[in-house]
Amino acid sequence: MRARLVSSTVAALALGALLLPGTAQASPAPAVPVVDVRAHDSTAGTALASGYNEPGTELRVTTGRTSSARWLEIDYQVQETGYWCGPAATRIALSALTGPPSQGELAAQLGTTEAGTDHISQVTDVLNARLGGGWYETKEMPNDPPTQGQRDLLWHDIVFDIDRGHPLVANIVAPPGNQPPGYPPDQTIYHYFTIFGYDAVDRTVLIADPASFGGNQIYWISFDQLATLIPPKGYSA
């Protein structure tokens, strides 16, 4: 697989105030870190943003495409509690399509508790309620490992949805030995994250991970690994 880069260099887009003579200096608006995602012949890396994204700040990934890859513009936030991965991943997906609500609003709408968000269908319902219409469907992947038919459908859904501007949200189970970058290696992690890009040549997918384990927030993983992480859960596409 060719190496990838999500640049850790961010562009600070602070807007200064226009001052009249004798007026006090206004505080600049919070900078908006912007991440440049690159595909193909690049050095591997991840995007980093500090802390839990204080109010008024955000990490933005700009849209892009190559001859074989495409990714969407998103507004990324680290999840604000240890059990709000569902709301945070839903918010990231919504941000590609509309002005997203807060994680707290989505947690209430999803019915998220300290035990987390019970089922991927809750994410599907909230995405459709927020966006109108019925684009999103719940796709179950009960077989572990998944069947070839389930793998083929997952890849089709990723390409079809992202080509039409819609990220996917996946409910995953990541046990020791099969984990995305930075995950605690001695724990099985039950989690939600957002899929917002793909590369058809390398068969890789671009993930926005609200957990930010080890600072890994935006990263590429192989489609084969993604297909093994989702069972026995499912995804919204």
Q: Is the dihedral of CA 210, 213, 217, 220 positive or negative?
A: negative
- Give CA–CA dist 208/218, Å, rounded: 5
Asked whether the predicted pLDDT for residue 54 surpasses 80, the reply is no
Asked whether the predicted pLDDT for residue 44 surpasses 90, the reply is no
Asked whether the predicted pLDDT for residue 4 surpasses 50, the reply is no
CA distance from start to end of the chain: 26
Asked whether the predicted pLDDT for residue 10 surpasses 50, the reply is no
Task: Give residue 32's pLDDT.
Answer: 58
- 43 in Cβ contact with 64 (< 8 Å): no
Characterize the bridge pairing of strands 59-61 and 34-35: parallel
- Give CA–CA dist 9/83, Å, rounded: 29
Structure tokens at 27: 């505080």
- Give CA–CA dist 155/153, Å, rounded: 6
Asked whether the predicted pLDDT for residue 84 surpasses 80, the reply is yes
Q: Sorting pLDDT into bands at 50, 70 and 90, what band is 117?
A: very high
- Whole-number average pLDDT of the chain: 83
Report the CATH fold assignment for 5-16+25-236.
Cathepsin B; Chain A (3.90.70)
More confident residue, 55 or 179: 179
Verify cis geometry, omega within 30 degrees of 0, for the bond prior to 167. no
Asked whether the predicted pLDDT for residue 2 surpasses 60, the reply is no
39-43, 60-64, 65-69: least confident range: 39-43
- Identity of residue 113: T
Task: Give residue 53's pLDDT.
Answer: 47
pTM of the model: 0.83
- 229 in Cβ contact with 95 (< 8 Å): no
Q: List all residues 6 or more positions away from 150 whose beta carbon is below 8 Å from its beta carbon.
A: 141, 143, 227, 231
Average pLDDT over residues 130-151: 97
More confident residue, 142 or 11: 142
Task: Give residue 67's pLDDT.
Answer: 87
Radius of gyration of the chain (CA): 18
Task: Give residue 217's pLDDT.
Answer: 86
Task: Give residue 194's pLDDT.
Answer: 98
- Give CA–CA dist 154/169, Å, rounded: 12
